[in-house]
Amino acid sequence: MHELSIIENLRFMLKKICEEEKAKRVILIEMTIHPYSCLDEDNLNFMYSSILRDEPVLRDAKIKIKRNNALQDREYIVDSIEIEVE
């Protein structure tokens, strides 16, 4: 599953950011995806919540995606991450 590798990459990145920033929780992850990518916002959110449901700091985050025709050399880019700090 391609989405699984993306969620695992997000988990790694988010854990590092949360540790550095002493975050209480992740609220929003905004991503830009390749115009022809098969990635889907609903599916990514479902997989994210299913896989990370046991991680209190990460589990409630929502993923928002937008497609960009200029993104030709990658499938996706994480644009921003909104967190709540202590």
The pLDDT value recorded for residue 70 is: 84
| Integer Cα distance of 24 and 54 in angstroms | 15
The pLDDT value recorded for residue 30 is: 98
Tell whether domain 2-85 is in CATH 3.30.2320.50: yes
Q: Give average pLDDT by consecutive 10-residue segment, the chain, 86 residues.
A: 87 95 96 91 95 95 93 88 92
The pLDDT value recorded for residue 72 is: 76
Domain ranges of the chain: 2-85
